[in-house]
Amino acid sequence: MLSPNLGLEKLLLPKRTNSIKHSAVKSARLSYHILIMSTVAPPSIIDLRSDTVTRPTPAMRRAMAEAEVGDDVYAEDPTINRLQARAAEIFEREAALFFPSGSMANLTAIKTWTHHGSEVICEAQAHIYLYEMASISAIAGCMPNIVPAPGGILTWDLIAPHIRPHIYYRAQTALIELENSHNMHGGTVYPPEISNDICDRAHAAGLRVHLDGARIFNASVALGRSVADLTRKFDSVMFCLSKGLGAPVGSMLVGSREFIEKAHVTRKLLGGGMRQAGVLAAAGLIALEETPKLLHRDHENARHLAVGLAKIPGVAIDPKKVVTNILIFDVRGTGRTAADVVSELARRNVLSGATGEFTIRMVTHFDVDRAAIDRALAIIADVLAARATTRTAS
Ligand code: TLP
């Protein structure tokens, strides 16, 4: 059986095969170089691997070229300072800190709130547990205490039995981590009353709660609530500029001034002190101001894709459960593995990722419009129908 991790490797970097001469896979790799000159993806490729694949918009590129910069280790980069102030304002928090990646920002929060030998409770498919290189243990020195939850949505009743008693010979729970939207559960979102309740009860129990809000703006659009409103009770929040918001690089950590001051030290410890990174923050500022109001289109496209997929024989997905820009569907009923379908789709210029033996993830974003989604659907239907016909005939 394929491990989910193996599947995600394919998602991130489809395997090169000699038989693919001018394949989408090669072009997709090449496009990383092409994008130095071009702001648009080659039109024939529909890249649904992730919302991380977006190219900076012309406005972002202009802002990057013109950014005022300084040495951020001396806190002298005016563009980074502006981005941090704006993020803090939007989240109605005292302070914010710019990071090169979401993984480093999550790790910084975990390391800041915990100490070696403590435990972090998170959902069993959490990004911090599955896709952050075990940094929670390797660097923060913590034990992940994982709790499976339907749709990835933890509740206090699921969490409470995992909190360690205060006994001197037991490792102590230091932190609870939630993910909103939940990536590997297909972009599901936390009902605010559930996440608020977890925060309230965790605080009453003396525990901190960190939010991996890589896609919190997607959750905000899906729920019709501001990001400040959704995240107010968390002790720290990470969100990504480089996912659906479309910036080329960057994530933010927001919280109290005291927490951010500590996180600043931790970021430097992790090698995350940056210099004239205002060129990156400039694109981040545009992403933060301009993209949230466009995310509803990605959600509509994801739902449209899900509705189309649900009509393909052998494909299992409930379109009603697709509320943001991520969808995960099951191809077991087609008699084929996800890896097989993903490779064939790549040969037909539709890029996606296997997340398990029979599950495929697709993510919509601003570089894929409705027409491209319709083209993708026709190709997927064709690929799956072709094989179904072969099976029936043989
Ligand atoms: N997610 C990536 C892959 O790593 C899976 C993707 O393509 O979705 N939290 C969540 C919920 C994420 O989805 C990701 C990236 C991160 C954290 C890490 O962000 P980066 O890639 O900036 O370190």
Give the residue-averaged pLDDT of 231-248.
Answer: 98
User: Which of 49, 133, 188, 240 should be mutated for ligand 1, with most atoms under 8 A from CB?
Assistant: 240
Region 161-188 average pLDDT:
98
CA-closest residue to ligand 1 atom 5:
131
**pLDDT tens digit sequence for 51-70:** 999 999 999 999 999 999 99
User: Any idea where the domains of the chain sit in the sequence?
Assistant: 4-55+294-393, 58-292
Distance 183 CA to ligand 1 centre (A): 8
CA 13–ligand 1 middle distance (angstroms): 14
**Three-state DSSP string of the chain:** CCCHHHHHHHHHCCCCCCCCCCCHHHHHHHHHHHCCCCCCCCCCCEECCCHHHCCCCHHHHHHHHHCCCCCHHHCCCHHHHHHHHHHHHHCCCCEEEEECCHHHHHHHHHHHHCCCCCEEEEECCCHHHHCCCCHHHHCCCCEEEEECCHHHCCCHHHHHHHCCCCCCCCCCEEEEEEECCEHHHCCECCCHHHHHHHHHHHHHCCCEEEEECCCHHHHHHHHCCCHHHHHCCCCEEEEECCCCCCCCCCEEEEECHHHHHHHHHHHHHCCCCCCCCHHHHHHHHHHHHHCHHHHHHHHHHHHHHHHHHHCCCCCECCHHHCCCCEEEEECHHHCCCHHHHHHHHHHCCEECEECCCCEEEEECCCCCCHHHHHHHHHHHHHHHHHHHHHHHHC
98, 243, 267, 355: residue to mutate for ligand 1 pocket, most atoms within 8 A of CB: 243
The ligand 1 atom at the shortest distance from the C-alpha of residue 251 is 22
CATH, range 58-292: 3.40.640.10
- For residue 274, report the distance from its CA to the centre of ligand 1, in Å: 21
pLDDT tens digits, one per residue of 244-270: 999 999 999 999 999 999 999 999 999
Question: Of the given ranges (22-26, 43-47, 69-73), which has the lowest mean pLDDT?
Answer: 22-26
Is residue 18 very low, low, confident or very high in pLDDT (cuts 50, 70, 90)? very low
Give the pLDDT score at 386.
72
> Across the chain, what does the average pLDDT equal?
90
- Residues whose CB is less than 8 angstroms from the CB of residue 362 and which lie 6 or more positions away in sequence, other chains included: 48, 302, 305, 326, 327, 329, 352, 353, 376
Model confidence over 360-389: pLDDT tens digits? 999 999 999 999 999 999 999 999 987 555
The whole-number average pLDDT for the span 201-222 is 98
Choose one of 54, 101, 127 to mutate for the ligand 1 pocket test, by most ligand atoms within 8 angstroms of C-beta: 127
Tell me the CA–centroid distance for residue 171 and ligand 1, in Å. 28
Distance 394 CA to ligand 1 centre (A): 42
What would the CATH number be for the domain defined by 4-55+294-393? 3.90.1150.10
Residues lining ligand 1, Cβ inside 6 A = 50, 52, 101-103, 106, 127, 131, 179, 183, 212, 214, 240, 242, 251
| Residue located nearest, by CA, to atom 3 of ligand 1 | 131
Q: Are 237 and 228 in contact (CB under 8 A)?
A: no
Measured at the CA of 124, the angle between CA 122 and CA 129, to 5 degrees, comes to: 65
4-55+294-393 and 58-292 in the same fold: no
| Atom 16 (ligand 1) nearest CA | 102
Give the ligand 1 atom nearest the CA of 126: 11
Reply yes or no on whether the pLDDT at 326 is more than 50.
Answer: yes
| Mutational test site, ligand 1, from 180, 183, 242, max ligand atoms within 8 Å of CB | 183
For the cut 90, the answer to whether the pLDDT of residue 11 exceeds it is no
pLDDT per residue over 75-116, tens digit each? 999 999 999 999 999 999 999 999 999 999 999 999 999 999
